[in-house]
């Protein structure tokens, strides 16, 4: 896996960032209003080769790939570039494609772009269906390309007015698209134009992502400086959390935009659907970013001298040039489940790598084979996502196969697998519905013992865990502290070579099965709360421990545990005395990746699609209903973004890259969309979905209940949003 731009792409990004900083400053953007066109900027873009960057070098262009164009488009969006750059990139690439087929008229138009910096735009709707339409860049275009049935026509006249007053002062105009010169005709010509439209949407999505990012950055900077009620407003969760949600959505949108290009490069079956996802998501997110950015500025955001209003207007208007973005969401559904095939542009070389790699795929296949051979119908009937589905015999078989904890070193009973292979192996568990919560907790505790544990404790504990003979439970939360684990009051007092523990823990899930509880205690009540804690691995059979069950509405048992004069040797201490924060941070970094919910979301979607194919609404299958299709497509989009954010979190951890709370970001996005989508699908499939029974509707009912808990496990979403706001946006600490 490699999600880092290559040096030449970083240079490209830096070059255009510097260009736009000078040639598309907010002063210049305002000066270009109301026409929305900066002639000086256009000349600079032409000089940089931006207009023909997607034209092959042999035809006088830059020969850049789709990802390169996406990078430039995003920078243009950040700077609100006052020029129809995306239209120029797309039309020049289309003309080059036609010229390669020997089309002299297309070659002549391309020469006008390379030699005269002519402005050529395109109509976004079929001229046969809309003879008169608003054209992006149409106010300044010398030529407009349009599709009329299976013909591509070029029009150098037909503009109905010089400029249309509009929401964002874009250089748009209404064109009459009848007549014109026929450049090409036939199915291939129609497909070429359709591919150009898809490229326009992909690049516009990148542009919208750039606008959204800058709108949120401006809002975060303002919120960090604006003092209200004696503190920066960015320190209030009501301000910080919406911004944290948005930067997560924007990061997901960028990854989705890149992922679409990669799927096109691979010729993947879902490439067309992914491209449509990218545009819809960017349009939705950019509009929300513009609105939230404006609101964060309060009354000042309404002022023309503040940039917030510029982004508020532009993020919405650019997204609407192709009509209602929700129509693109419908297209996602048609392409995924109704067999619609999209014509797509040539992506060129794609240097990023989203794959887990051959070693990961091999371990995944081995794990899959193990489950196929050993997961009997009786075990499948017992399966549950929580500790309730634990089966000791199957657990021990996994241990014998060294498939419980593949990432552990071989000396501790693992395989020394890298994080990619470990993730792919664990995904198999979720695909088979075999709960990995208990194993995941034990895996995390095992890592802490390896990193921070006493040699004697390692020798005792790790073999038992690796062989599937023992499991662990977490003793973090308390009745009065909840997610604020550093407020723990459970005391551990040293007595010679032993520690005496007294207190109570809540939600000690799996304690009834566990051999050890990973316990957070307070060892220095006078120290700051995050400095006076120490972690212990407490054997459950130690005298003084009482476990009382708590049953939850998602059919899961958890526990409250009591500790009365529990005495354990010092060797069960994990980490330094009063140094528990370092251990806890290491544990949480493994727990907050969000990846475990990706497979769950995918399975939920598959069940909903199965229901829609086999349930009739009126005289047709439900999946043919536009509203059903859009809801399924929205769920699918959320699932893809969850997967991509999870992959990035994994990559950052595996490659030790700079981490801006990517794990918490991934976890919050995954569980919050899982919660919203399961609720929406529950509504869609009602009333059958309220029944607890086998089948797709029953699965959605279970997902609805499970998803509520997912927003609390491994840190409540509110806590993790605060982390995202602080690390990703530099907002003041707010909890």
Q: What is the pLDDT of residues 349-375, one digit of tens each?
A: 899 999 999 999 999 999 999 999 999
Domain assignment present for 64: yes
Can you give the CATH number for the domain in which 566 is found?
2.40.110.10
Residue at a domain's end among 562, 589, 616: 589
* pLDDT tens-place string over residues 367-425: 999 999 999 999 998 888 888 889 999 999 999 999 999 999 999 999 999 999 999 99
Domain assignment present for 491: yes
What mean pLDDT value characterizes the chain? 94
- Distance, in Å, from the CA atom of 34 to the CA atom of 31, rounded to the nearest integer, reads 8
Reference 594, options 655, 639, 660; nearest CA is 639
Question: Which residues are registered as beta bridge partners of 106?
Answer: none
| Number of alpha carbons in the 13 Å side-chain half-sphere of residue 181 | 13
Give pLDDT, residue 483: 65
Domain assignment present for 38: yes
Q: How confident is the model at residue 482 (pLDDT cuts 50, 70, 90)?
A: low
* pLDDT tens-place string over residues 61-85: 999 999 999 999 999 999 999 999 9
Domain assignment present for 264: no
Q: Tokens 């931006």 sit at which residue?
A: 50
- Element of type H or E holding 303: none
Give pLDDT, residue 590: 67
In this structure, the answer to whether residues 519 and 645 fall within a common structural domain is no
Looking at the 3D structure of the chain, how many domains does it have?
3
Domain assignment present for 398: no
Q: Are 117 and 150 in contact (CB under 8 A)?
A: no
In this structure, the answer to whether residues 666 and 633 fall within a common structural domain is yes
In this structure, the answer to whether residues 74 and 119 fall within a common structural domain is yes
Q: Residue 549 in 3-state DSSP?
A: strand
Reference 76, options 52, 47, 42, 110; nearest CA is 42
In this structure, the answer to whether residues 495 and 582 fall within a common structural domain is yes
Can you give the CATH number for the domain in which 25 is found?
1.10.540.10
In this structure, the answer to whether residues 571 and 616 fall within a common structural domain is no
Domain assignment present for 208: no
* 595 pLDDT more than 70: no
Q: How many helices (H) and strands (E) does the chain have?
A: 23, 18
Q: How confident is the model at residue 601 (pLDDT cuts 50, 70, 90)?
A: very high
* 550 pLDDT more than 80: yes
- Distance, in Å, from the CA atom of 527 to the CA atom of 538, rounded to the nearest integer, reads 23
Domain hosting 570: range is 472-589
Question: Which residues are registered as beta bridge partners of 516?
Answer: 472, 539
In this structure, the answer to whether residues 27 and 160 fall within a common structural domain is yes
In this structure, the answer to whether residues 596 and 584 fall within a common structural domain is no
- Distance, in Å, from the CA atom of 74 to the CA atom of 90, rounded to the nearest integer, reads 15
Reference 433, options 385, 388, 390; nearest CA is 385
- Distance, in Å, from the CA atom of 352 to the CA atom of 447, rounded to the nearest integer, reads 30
Q: How confident is the model at residue 36 (pLDDT cuts 50, 70, 90)?
A: very high
Residue at a domain's end among 155, 175, 192: 192
- Distance, in Å, from the CA atom of 239 to the CA atom of 725, rounded to the nearest integer, reads 10
In this structure, the answer to whether residues 665 and 547 fall within a common structural domain is no
Which residue blocks in 297-321 are alpha helix, DSSP H?
308-320
- Distance, in Å, from the CA atom of 174 to the CA atom of 163, rounded to the nearest integer, reads 8
pTM above 0.75, yes or no: yes
Residue at a domain's end among 137, 171, 192: 192
- Mean pLDDT score, 187-195: 97
Domain assignment present for 600: yes
* 114 pLDDT more than 60: yes
């Amino acid at each position: 896996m490699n999600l880092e731009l290559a040096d030449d792409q970083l240079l490209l990004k830096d070059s255009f960032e510097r260009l736009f900083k000078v040639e598309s400053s907010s002063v210049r953007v305002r000066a270009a209003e109301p026409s929305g066109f900066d002639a000086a900027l256009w000349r600079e873009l032409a000089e940089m080769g931006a207009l023909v960057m997607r034209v092959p070098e042999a035809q006088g262009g830059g020969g850049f790939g789709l990802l390169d164009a996406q990078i430039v488009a995003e920078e243009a969006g950040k700077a609100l570039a006052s020029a129809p750059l995306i239209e120029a990139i797309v039309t020049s690439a289309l003309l080059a494609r036609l010229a390669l087929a020997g089309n002299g008229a297309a070659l002549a138009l391309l020469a006008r772009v390379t030699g005269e910096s002519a402005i050529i735009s395109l109509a976004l709707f079929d001229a046969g269906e809309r003879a008169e339409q608003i054209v992006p860049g149409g106010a300044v275009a010398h030529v407009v390309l349009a599709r009329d049935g299976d013909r591509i026509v070029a029009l150098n006249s037909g503009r109905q007015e010089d400029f249309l007053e509009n929401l964002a002062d874009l250089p748009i105009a209404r064109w009459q698209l009848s007549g014109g010169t026929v450049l090409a005709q036939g199915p291939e010509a129609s497909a070429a134009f359709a591919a150009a439209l898809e490229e326009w949407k992909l690049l516009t999505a990148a542009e919208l992502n750039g606008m959204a990012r800058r709108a949120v950055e401006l809002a975060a900077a303002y919120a960090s400086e604006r003092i209200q009620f004696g503190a920066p407003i960015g320190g209030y969760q009501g301000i910080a959390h919406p911004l944290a949600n948005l930067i997560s959505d924007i990061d997901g949108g960028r990854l989705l935009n890149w992922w679409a290009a990669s799927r096109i490069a691979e010729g993947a079956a879902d490439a067309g659907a992914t491209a449509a996802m990218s545009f819809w998501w960017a349009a939705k997110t950019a509009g929300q970013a513009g609105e939230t950015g404006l609101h964060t500025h309060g009354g000042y955001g309404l002022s023309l001298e503040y940039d917030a209003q510029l982004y508020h207007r532009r993020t919405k208007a650019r997204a609407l040039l192709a009509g209602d973005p929700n129509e693109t969401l419908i297209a996602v559904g048609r392409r995924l489940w109704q067999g619609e095939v999209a014509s797509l542009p040539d992506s060129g070389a794609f240097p990023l790598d989203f794959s887990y790699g051959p070693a990961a795929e091999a371990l995944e296949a081995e794990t899959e084979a193990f489950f196929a051979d050993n997961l009997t119908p009786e075990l499948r009937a017992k399966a549950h996502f929580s500790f309730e589905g634990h089966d000791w015999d199957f657990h021990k078989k996994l241990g014998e196969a060294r498939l419980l904890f593949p990432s552990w070193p071989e000396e501790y009973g693992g395989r020394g697998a890298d994080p990619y292979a470990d993730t792919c192996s664990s995904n198999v568990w979720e695909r088979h519905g075999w709960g990995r919560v208990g194993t995941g907790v034990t895996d995390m505790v095992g890592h802490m013992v390896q990193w921070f544990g006493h040699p004697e404790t390692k020798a005792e504990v790790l073999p038992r865990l690796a062989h599937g003979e023992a499991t662990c439970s977490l003793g973090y939360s308390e009745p009065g502290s909840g997610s604020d684990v550093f407020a723990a009051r459970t005391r551990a007092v040293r007595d010679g070579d032993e520690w005496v523990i007294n207190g109570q823990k809540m939600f000690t899930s799996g304690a009834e099965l566990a051999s050890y509880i990973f316990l957070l205690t307070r060892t220095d009540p006078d120290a700051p709360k995050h400095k006076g804690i120490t972690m212990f691995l407490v054997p459950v059979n130690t005298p003084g421990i009482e476990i009382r069950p708590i049953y939850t509405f998602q059919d899961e048992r958890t526990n409250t545990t009591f500790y009365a004069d529990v005495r354990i040797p010092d060797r069960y201490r994990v980490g330094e005395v009063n140094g528990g924060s370092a251990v806890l941070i290491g544990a949480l970094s493994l727990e907050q990746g969000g990846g475990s919910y990706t497979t769950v979301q995918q399975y939920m979607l598959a069940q909903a699609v199965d229901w829609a194919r086999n349930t009739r609404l009126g005289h047709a299958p439900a999946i043919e209903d536009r509203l059903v299709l859009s809801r399924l497509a929205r769920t699918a989009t959320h699932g893809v973004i969850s997967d991509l954010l999870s992959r990035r979190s994994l990559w950052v951890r595996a490659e030790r890259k700079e981490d801006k709370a990517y794990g918490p970001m991934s976890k919050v996005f995954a569980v919050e969309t899982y919660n919203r989508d399961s609720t929406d699908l529950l509504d869609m499939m009602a009333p059958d979905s309220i029944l607890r029974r086998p089948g797709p509707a029953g699965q959605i009912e279970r997902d609805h209940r499970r998803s509520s808990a997912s927003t609390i496990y491994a840190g409540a979403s509110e806590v993790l949003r605060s982390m995202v706001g602080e690390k990703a946006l530099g907002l003041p600490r707010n909890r």
